Amino acid sequence: MSEVRAQAMFSDLFFDVALGLDADAREELAELLDDTAGRMLERAPRTPGQTGDWYFVFRGDHAYEVGPVAELGQALALLLRGKLPAPPPGTLWLYGAPGGRTTISPR
């Protein structure tokens, strides 16, 4: 779990979402992602300072919207299930942006 936390904290690291899991384990991970995303959406935004026992690099009083993070979790669940919709031609999905999922054009 500590490796997953490190991957989540430093988004420029490569993350193999399947982790070499078999189909049952991938489905279990997808369910965990879906459940976690749902719980996040039910809660009010939290500041890093309110989560003192979590692994955060930065702390402060700014409240972060959880919607884009929950949407990323839902997308990872869809990806694990092979059901993530393809982006429009010539683009890639970008998750975590303010306002939710958007597309970018690779160079």
- Looking at residue 96, what DSSP letter applies? S
Residue 100: pLDDT band with limits 50, 70, 90:
confident
The string of DSSP letters for 43-95 reads SPPB-GGG-TTS--S---SPPBPSHHHHHHHHHHHHHHTT-PPPPSTT-EEE-
Write down the pLDDT at residue 86: 95
Query: pLDDT digit string (tens) for 37-79?
Result: 999 888 766 666 665 555 555 555 666 678 888 999 999 999 9
d(CA 4, CA 73): 13
d(CA 79, CA 95): 13
Q: Which two tokens stand for residue 63?
A: 């409240």
The answer to pTM > 0.75 is no
Write down the pLDDT at residue 48: 61
pLDDT at 84 over 60: yes
pLDDT at 11 over 60: no
